[in-house]
Amino acid sequence: MSPIISVSLNENLKKFINKLVNKNQYENKSKLIRDALLRLMSTEEISASLDGSSDLIPLTKNIIGNMIIVAPNDYNIQKKLNRIESEYKDQIISKNQNFVNPHFITFMVFDGSLHDFQNLVVEINSIEEIKNFRYLIIN
């Protein structure tokens, strides 16, 4: 039997976790959190920090990241996404959009602080109509 660890989460994180579980992307909350931790451990920087040879990535470090967003081709969804993108216009260095009825697919490249990237990801995840959203920190 695995040990139980209690964690405090703010309301936005709780809603996000419930959204993922309700969309049947995960069987339950525990599996979602385990998967998230395993993905975090799989990055080279984080894995190295567990054995003491490196520190965690500072939130102020500049990173390059990319995002893929798939959502229904709807004006209101585009409007929400454009509002978020305008907040990060100096960090979004490339954006390509393709329309494949009835969806649109957006590819973005981000260059900025890890903290801003995390905030951008949280804001995009808050758009309920988005069908699929993936991101990757390249460096």
In the chain (139 residues long), the average pLDDT of successive 10-residue segments reads: 77 86 76 71 49 57 92 93 96 95 94 90 86 86
pTM given for the model: 0.61
Q: What pLDDT sits at residue 67?
A: 95
| SS3 sequence of the chain | CCCCCCCCCCHHHHHHHHHHHHCCCCCCHHHHHHHHHHHHHCCHHHHHHHCCCCCCCCCCCEEEEEEEEEEECCHHHHHHHHHHHHHCCCCEEEEEEEEECCEEEEEEEEEEEHHHHHHHHHHHHCCCCCCEEEEEECC
Has domain 62-137 been given CATH number 3.30.70.1150? yes
The domain spans of the chain are 11-50, 62-137
**pLDDT digits 0-9 by tens, 83-109:** 999 999 999 999 999 999 899 999 999
Measured between alpha carbons, how far is 44 from 88 in angstroms, rounded to an integer? Answer: 27
Q: What pLDDT sits at residue 23?
A: 79
Q: What pLDDT sits at residue 47?
A: 47
Measured between alpha carbons, how far is 120 from 92 in angstroms, rounded to an integer? Answer: 10
The amino acid occupying position 79 is: K
Contact call for residues 139 and 112 (beta carbons, < 8 A) = no
